[in-house]
Amino acid sequence: MRNTRHLFLAILLSFIFEKSTAGTTGSVENLVKLADSLKAMLTTSQVSTLQLAYTYSNSQTWSNLPAAMSSRLGIKLGSLTSTQLAAAKVLIKEMAGQNIPNEGWDEIVQLWLADDYLYAHGGGSPYGAGNYYLAFFGTPTLTGTFEIMMTGHHKTVANTYNNGVLVGPTPHFEAIEPLSFTTNGVTYAPMSQESTAFTAMLTALSTTELASAKLSQTFSDILLGPANGGTSHDWQFPTTKVGLRVGTLSSAKKALVMAAIKTYVLDVDSVNAANILAQYQNQLDSTYIAYSGTTALTTKTDYVRIDGPGVWIEFTVQGGIILSGVHYHSIWRDHKRDFGGTGSTNGIYTSQVGSDTTVTLPITFQSTSAYKVNDNLVSINWQTAYELNNNHFEVEHSTDGKTFSSIASILSANNLQGSKYNYLHYSPQKGTNYYRIKSVSNDGTVQYSSIMRIYIESEVLIQVYPNPARDKLSVSQNLSGSNISYRMFDLRGRLVLSSTVANSSVFNIDVSQLNTGTYLLSLQTESQSTQTKFIKQ
């Protein structure tokens, strides 16, 4: 029976895989479905190993060491059946996003191959793709907060989601040994894009600019790496930015800095990557670049850093561990987004992740709601509990719950005690309408509210006859409410008739005194409204 169930799930999985690769990756809705599909294939014991509590202490357990040297949480990929492993890979692919060479999913696959290469060339059993782990911290769902982590020797992806939105793609670690390798006749160099982009950024600088960017320290590794059983490096960003301010550079040199940043941000899905890159672009003039060692990034202890209001990227050259030569260590963090924005040393605003960490954010949503006033009007409401250095809110609308567009922009009150806001959306689409609130801080940090859903009836609420009418216009309607107020306008918008009558499915209006022409009839009750045109003979 279990084999039959697995066969069915494998067929379903292949269909899901085709759909996920054909469309845009990164959909949280798809991710939740894939997580549920994977759990359905696992035993109860396996699920309890995979899915753990959403706490900061669990989120800290990633490492740059092989799992045999630094234990991981979650389920070991090498322990899965072929069907279970295929499901796990589809999930990781959805989480990674992007179908770009050497980025996202493609980079993960190549780094797994690199670990297999180390296994076969002197590293032995601590290495290999089977020693990577997958963990759910919290239950994957479209409401609430959870994190999915894929971690092993030289790659950690730790994505945090809140109410159906990716709120944190960092910390994001990647490394490679050897720098390039050949497997089955194919040569791979998965981090060549990063090293090439950094080298181009540094070598474009003038002698004076290089002198400003040069650091006096020597770096044996990245500063903000994993704890590896020791002191946490989370949110330990240097308090003073050092190096060369990007705002002093030419447009061409600024573009090279963004090109280097892009090699990390493109490891997430295209929609979120575009949003994050736009914010980093807005913050670029206040971003700093710095390096130590040589600009060629080929010698042990060569080091380069990008540090902005949001972005933090480090890239360093390490000595070989299993093979001779050098290898790379690199990390992408974010001052605001690490672990989904759930850590801080500032203490401006406190919020719990599990029960053991805090968060500093420009605002926090206290409540959001949307309700249908009538079939032509939706009221969107939100209340904040705290606001500081926030710029504005955008009301976003979608008809599929995935692709949102802004329909209004409202300035933030920046009230430390929070504020209430309201927006009226006229003429929403028939069927299901989705809304969310986007908060944009002064430094470009973006937060999203939960998604609200409103269904608009497509049924006809009013009919008039005869049409054209000469003396009497009969109105058939199905509005709810005790009384109906009707108003009649000519094509110039002038009110020509108005009255209030008791609600009845059919009532009559005397139009004998109206001039010949076209008129607009509007009906309104306590909870609904509708309108239609008619012709007076």
Render pLDDT for 465-508 as a digit per residue (tens, 0 to 9).
898 999 999 998 888 788 899 999 888 778 899 999 998 888 99
Predicted confidence (pLDDT) at residue 409 exceeds the cutoff of 70: yes
pLDDT, average across residues 4-14: 40
Tell me: do 395 and 531 sit in the same domain. Answer: no
**Higher pLDDT residue, 222 or 350?**
222
Answer for the pair 149, 74: CB distance below 8 angstroms, yes or no: yes
User: Which pLDDT value is given to residue 23?
Assistant: 35
Please give the Cα distance from 355 to 360 (Å, whole number).
15
Predicted confidence (pLDDT) at residue 13 exceeds the cutoff of 70: no
Q: Which among 456, 483, 515 is the end of a domain?
A: 456
Non-local (6+) Cβ contacts of 393 within 8 A are: 382, 409, 410, 411, 412, 421, 437, 438, 439, 440
Predicted confidence (pLDDT) at residue 290 exceeds the cutoff of 50: yes
Q: What share of the chain in percent tops pLDDT 90?
A: 59
**Higher pLDDT residue, 97 or 218?**
218
Q: What pLDDT digit, counting tens, does each position of 228-267 carry?
A: 877 888 888 999 999 999 999 999 999 999 999 999 999 9
Q: Where are the beta strands (DSSP E) in 468-528?
A: 472-477, 483-490, 495-502, 506-510, 517-524
User: Which pLDDT value is given to residue 525?
Assistant: 82
Query: Is 373 part of any domain?
Result: yes
> Over the chain, what is the mean pLDDT?
86
Non-local (6+) Cβ contacts of 460 within 8 A are: none
Q: CATH number for the domain including 510?
A: 2.60.40.3080
DSSP 235-281: T---SS--SEEGGGS-HHHHHHHHHHHHHHHTTS-HHHHHHHHHHHH
pLDDT classification of 298: cutoffs 50, 70, 90: very high
Can you read off the two tokens belonging to residue 96? 């990674």
Please give the Cα distance from 169 to 156 (Å, whole number).
11
Predicted confidence (pLDDT) at residue 21 exceeds the cutoff of 50: no
User: Which pLDDT value is given to residue 459?
Assistant: 57
Answer for the pair 376, 206: CB distance below 8 angstroms, yes or no: no
SS3 of residue 27 by DSSP: coil
User: Which pLDDT value is given to residue 361?
Assistant: 59
Tell me: do 139 and 79 sit in the same domain. Answer: yes
pLDDT, average across residues 360-367: 71
Q: Is 212 exposed, middle or buried (0-12, 13-18, 19+ CB in 10 A)?
A: middle
pLDDT classification of 2: cutoffs 50, 70, 90: very low
Predicted confidence (pLDDT) at residue 512 exceeds the cutoff of 60: yes
Tell me: do 444 and 469 sit in the same domain. Answer: no
Query: Is 441 part of any domain?
Result: yes
pLDDT, average across residues 184-211: 96
Predicted confidence (pLDDT) at residue 360 exceeds the cutoff of 60: no
Q: Which among 410, 429, 456 is the end of a domain?
A: 456
Tell me: do 440 and 466 sit in the same domain. Answer: no
Please give the Cα distance from 297 to 304 (Å, whole number).
8
Please give the Cα distance from 49 to 136 (Å, whole number).
9
Tell me: do 448 and 478 sit in the same domain. Answer: no
| Single-letter code of the amino acid located at 181 | F
Cis upstream peptide for 171 (omega within 30°): yes
Predicted confidence (pLDDT) at residue 402 exceeds the cutoff of 90: no
Predicted confidence (pLDDT) at residue 348 exceeds the cutoff of 90: no
User: Which pLDDT value is given to residue 169?
Assistant: 93
Domain, as residue range, for 528: 462-536
pLDDT classification of 205: cutoffs 50, 70, 90: very high
Q: Name the strand (E) or helix (H) holding 167.
A: strand 165-168
pLDDT classification of 53: cutoffs 50, 70, 90: very high
Query: Is 127 part of any domain?
Result: yes
DSSP 180-238: SEEETTEEE-TTHHHHHHHHHHHHTS-HHHHHHHB-SS--SS-TT---TTS---TT---
Predicted confidence (pLDDT) at residue 447 exceeds the cutoff of 80: yes
Can you read off the two tokens belonging to residue 455? 């269904």
Tell me: do 415 and 488 sit in the same domain. Answer: no
Strand 495-502 to 483-490 pairing: antiparallel
Tell me: do 443 and 486 sit in the same domain. Answer: no
Tell me: do 418 and 476 sit in the same domain. Answer: no
Please give the Cα distance from 408 to 380 (Å, whole number).
11
List beta partners, residue 305.
Answer: 290, 314
Query: Is 285 part of any domain?
Result: yes
Predicted confidence (pLDDT) at residue 355 exceeds the cutoff of 60: no
**Higher pLDDT residue, 80 or 450?**
80
User: Which of 45-59, 79-93, 387-401 is least confident?
Assistant: 387-401
List beta partners, residue 289.
Answer: 244, 306
**Which of 510, 401, 532, 382 is closest to 447 using CA atoms?**
382
Query: Is 351 part of any domain?
Result: no
Q: CATH number for the domain including 424?
A: 2.60.40.10
Answer for the pair 211, 290: CB distance below 8 angstroms, yes or no: no
Residue 261 CA to its chain's centroid (Å) = 17
Question: Roughly what angle, to the nearest 10 degrees, separates helices 2-22 and 82-96?
Answer: 20
Q: In the chain, what is the straight-line distance between the N-terminal and C-terminal CA atoms, in Å? A: 74
Torsion sign across C-alpha atoms 12, 18, 19, 24: positive
Please give the Cα distance from 85 to 479 (Å, whole number).
55
Predicted confidence (pLDDT) at residue 144 exceeds the cutoff of 70: yes
Instruction: Give the total number of structural domains in the chain.
Output: 3
**Higher pLDDT residue, 152 or 27?**
152
Please give the Cα distance from 342 to 324 (Å, whole number).
40
**Higher pLDDT residue, 20 or 290?**
290
| Single-letter code of the amino acid located at 312 | W
User: Which of 281-290, 339-348, 447-456 is least confident?
Assistant: 339-348
* Measured torsion, CA atoms of residues 239, 243, 245, 246, in degrees rounded to the nearest 10: -120
User: Which of 11-25, 158-172, 387-401, 506-520 is least confident?
Assistant: 11-25
Predicted confidence (pLDDT) at residue 332 exceeds the cutoff of 80: yes
- The structure's pTM equals 0.64
Predicted confidence (pLDDT) at residue 4 exceeds the cutoff of 60: no
Q: Name the strand (E) or helix (H) holding 449.
A: none
**Which of 326, 325, 307, 309 is closest to 317 using CA atoms?**
326
Q: What's the CA angle centered on 492, arms 487 and 498, to 5 degrees?
A: 15
List beta partners, residue 258.
Answer: none
Count the neighbouring beta carbons within 10 Å of the beta carbon of residue 255.
13
Tell me: do 35 and 169 sit in the same domain. Answer: yes
Predicted confidence (pLDDT) at residue 137 exceeds the cutoff of 90: yes
Q: What share of the chain in percent tops pLDDT 70?
A: 90
Tell me: do 6 and 113 sit in the same domain. Answer: yes
Can you read off the two tokens belonging to residue 458? 């497509």
User: Which pLDDT value is given to residue 366?
Assistant: 78
Query: Is 193 part of any domain?
Result: yes
Residue 300 CA to its chain's centroid (Å) = 35
| Single-letter code of the amino acid located at 334 | D
Answer for the pair 186, 255: CB distance below 8 angstroms, yes or no: no
Count the neighbouring beta carbons within 10 Å of the beta carbon of residue 62.
25
Predicted confidence (pLDDT) at residue 311 exceeds the cutoff of 60: yes
pLDDT, average across residues 167-191: 95
Tell me: do 271 and 387 sit in the same domain. Answer: no
User: Which pLDDT value is given to residue 431?
Assistant: 81
Predicted confidence (pLDDT) at residue 380 exceeds the cutoff of 80: yes
Query: Is 487 part of any domain?
Result: yes
Tell me: do 12 and 139 sit in the same domain. Answer: yes
User: Which of 35-44, 342-351, 471-480 is least confident?
Assistant: 342-351
